[in-house]
Structure 1
């Protein structure tokens, strides 16, 4: 399971009449809220028609459901997906079919439905009733950490939802150096892969102002700029975006900070040719993510140097 997972929900999950009581509906929605607002995305099925179903004021949407939808919108966690079946859904059963077809086009972590809608899909592991989520393997396997190989393939798989949907990407690693191809050349490939984004994210790179090995931590800005600029320029032009680069005198830990998730990465963004070498990524709590981001906010403290590489 990825540290940021994408789910589809049938509209009935938000409907009071799908439950035995309003209280039961509220309890299930509260449990969903805690997960979706910290580690999840919700697929806006059928090019946005899914979210429009909640404009129907004749249906008794639970107040907690309305609040959850509002927060998901505010945090930009509702993400568009193309229509996947020929006809527009009219019922929860239809929406479940749309979700499954969308899953076939691009895999979801899971499809969450009401009890009645989930029954016909009892043998389909990807579908779970909201009341039985704890027994769904893909829900139970959620974890704040992820063990993965130090390879581009594993990084791309683990970061796929982040790179596809995050509106800001802040790469923090004191050793980023694209001239060291065995370590950081693959980071440039991740950046170049953003070319598929129609709306480009804000991209920042934060690294140390010193350069080279040894214990000499004196700033060497010119050397760092010379090492970073050619490869970042190529990646930025390929992706059609700009990259803001910040150099700091004091930087130690390594992170990926985005508007959707923060990740602590012990080895940073370096990859290796060594077989079977692994690392463990950890999802940060929201407060910790925000604290790290504030620590690299140039409006709060000045970096040693900053420059922008424009690819457009």
Structure 2
């Protein structure tokens, strides 16, 4: 299970009349809130038609549901999806079929529906009632960490939703060096993969100002800039990106910080051809993610050097 997962929800999940009582509805929505606002995305089916269903004031949307939707929008966790069925759904059952079609086109972690909507799809493990989520394999598989091989393919798979939807990507690693192809050449491929995005994210790279191995930590800004610039310029031009690069007197830990999730990366984005080489990525709590981001914010402390690479 990815550290950031994408779900589809049928509108009835937010409707009080889908439950035995308003209180039961609120309890299920509260449980969803804790997951979706920390580790989830919600697919906005049919290019936004899903979101527009909540403009129907005649349906008794639960207050917690309206609050959750507002926070999902504020945190930019409602993500677009193309239409797959010929007509706009009019019922929750039809919305579930739309979600299944969307899932077939681009896999979701799962589809969350009400008891009545999920019942006809009992044989389909992708669909689960909000009241029975604990029994869904894809819900039970959620974890704050993931074990993966140290290869570009596994990194890109683990970061699929992040690379498709994050609006900012901050790469923090003292050893980032694209000239070291054995370790960091593949990081440039991750940047190049962003070329398919019409709306480009904000990109930052943070690394140490010292260069080379050993214990000599004296700043060597010119050497670092010379090592970074050619490969980053090539990746930026290919993907149509602009990047800011920050050099610091010292960095110890390695992270990927985004507006949607923060991840601790023990090996950074270094890859290896060694067999059976694994690493464990851990999702940060929101407060920790924000703390790391502040630590590398030039508004809080000044880097040793900074420069911009423009590919547009």
- Scaled to the shorter chain, the TM-score interval is over 0.9
CA–CA distance in structure 2, aligned partners of residues 153 and 196 of structure 1: 17
What is the 5 A alignment of 1:1-312?
1-312=1-312
1:45-89 Cα shifts (integer Å, max 9, x gaps): 000100000000000000000000000000000000000111110
SS in 1 for 2:12: helix
CA–CA distance in structure 1, aligned partners of residues 116 and 257 of structure 2: 39
Paired residue total: 312
CA–CA distance in structure 2, aligned partners of residues 137 and 264 of structure 1: 25
User: What is the CA-CA distance between 1:153 and the residue it aligns to?
Assistant: 0.3
CA–CA distance in structure 1, aligned partners of residues 276 and 88 of structure 2: 47
* TM-score, normalised by the number of residues in structure 2: 1.00
CA–CA distance in structure 1, aligned partners of residues 185 and 35 of structure 2: 34
SS in 2 for 1:79: strand
Q: Which runs of 5 or more structure 2 residues have no equivalent in the other structure?
A: none
User: What is the CA-CA distance between 1:250 and the residue it aligns to?
Assistant: 1.6
1:290-312 Cα shifts (integer Å, max 9, x gaps): 00000000011000000000000
SS in 1 for 2:234: helix
CA–CA distance in structure 1, aligned partners of residues 184 and 292 of structure 2: 22
CA–CA distance in structure 2, aligned partners of residues 222 and 250 of structure 1: 16
User: What is the CA-CA distance between 1:167 and the residue it aligns to?
Assistant: 0.3
1:117-171 Cα shifts (integer Å, max 9, x gaps): 0000001001000000000000001000000000000000000000000000000
SS in 2 for 1:256: strand
1:217-266 Cα shifts (integer Å, max 9, x gaps): 00000000000000000000011010100000021000000000000000
Moved over 3 A (4+): none
CA–CA distance in structure 1, aligned partners of residues 139 and 12 of structure 2: 19
User: What is the CA-CA distance between 1:279 and the residue it aligns to?
Assistant: 0.2
How big is the alpha-carbon RMSD for the aligned residues of Structure 1 and Structure 2?
Answer: 0.4
CA–CA distance in structure 2, aligned partners of residues 237 and 105 of structure 1: 29
CA–CA distance in structure 2, aligned partners of residues 181 and 89 of structure 1: 50
CA–CA distance in structure 2, aligned partners of residues 215 and 273 of structure 1: 26
Q: Which runs of 5 or more structure 1 residues have no equivalent in the other structure?
A: none
User: What is the CA-CA distance between 1:182 and the residue it aligns to?
Assistant: 1.1
